[in-house]
Amino acid sequence: MASPHNAANVGDIAERILLPGDPLRAKYIAETFLDSARRYTDIRNVYGFTGTYKGVPISVQATGMGIPSFSIYVQELLDVYKCKKLIRVGTCGGMSTAVKIRDVLIAQGATTDSSLIRQVFGGAVAFAPIADYELLSRAVANAKKLNLPVKVGNIITVDRFYNDYGDPNGIFGDGKRSLNEKLVQYGILAVEMETAALYVLAAGAGAQALAIFTVSDHLVTHEDTTPEERETSFNDMIKIALETAIED
């Protein structure tokens, strides 16, 4: 049986799964890091593959960008395919100056401007979307073992890539300071568009979830990066994610 947006049969997708946004990144991960990878879906060209890493079955499923697209794929992975360890591997925009372009970040928590939490809890509570502690602590240990520096902290999942949170005169600015500056004061390291949904949906299904990123752009410093540098930090992030996903 397939699900509405995934051609895989139940059993085709491993319990352990990496979640990049970009279908071509899914293909690159499968071809570069997995053994005997087989594509199980190409519906909408949103590819998914299953192979093995160090002998352990593992899948990689593209999700598209933003909470609405991401949530479709992840809800079906949880409900239909019974995925148990989900690790998003994506990019984020640096906000804090403590974060540099190409850094690898791990989202301990995912603050959000999305209505998702209100849709799930009806406005009664401000649920805190957090990483699974076991995956988080293992990822940090694996990064150390691989000699790859990582930063861990709170990030923000936004619904609009093009918002005015950087503008002191934007709707949430006070004329002197932008919302982004306030968020950085409160410890937000970076911005992306999916992780709060991953943490909420996985929690609801009793599954473990973690999000790891490379910093692809920086909202304050506007640092630049070469394609080769981006590829190196992307591969570092994938190694941390794979080593963490296969552990029991």
Site string for ligand HPA, 66-95 (x = CB under 6 A): -------------------------xxx--
Residue 20 or residue 51: which is nearer to ligand HPA going by CB?
Answer: 20
The answer to whether 21 contacts ligand HPA (rule: CB under 6 A) is no
Nearest approach, Cβ of residue 161 and ligand HPA (Å): 5
CA angle 18, 58, 9 (to 5 degrees): 95
Nearest approach, Cβ of residue 28 and ligand HPA (Å): 17
Interacting stretch for ligand HPA, rule CB under 6 A, among 5-13, 40-48, 170-178, 212-220? Answer: 212-220
The answer to whether 217 contacts ligand HPA (rule: CB under 6 A) is yes
Relative to beta strand 104-112, strand 150-157 is parallel
The answer to whether 196 contacts ligand HPA (rule: CB under 6 A) is no
Task: Name the CA dihedral angle for 78, 54, 138, 216, rounded to a multiple of 10 degrees.
Answer: -80
Beta-carbon count within 10 A of 67 CB: 24
Beta-bridge mates of residue 15: none
Q: In this chain, which residue has its C-beta nearest to ligand HPA?
A: 93
- Distance, in Å, from the CA atom of 139 to the CA atom of 187, rounded to the nearest integer, reads 21
Interacting stretch for ligand HPA, rule CB under 6 A, among 126-134, 142-150, 214-222, 239-247? Answer: 214-222
In the list 191, 207, 237, 241, the residue contacting ligand HPA (rule: CB under 6 A) is 191
- Distance, in Å, from the CA atom of 56 to the CA atom of 245, rounded to the nearest integer, reads 9
Residue 9 DSSP code: P
86-97 in b/e form (b: 16+ CB < 10 A) is bbbbbbbbbbbe
Q: Which residues bind ligand HPA (CB under 6 A)?
A: 91-93, 158, 161, 191-193, 216-217, 219
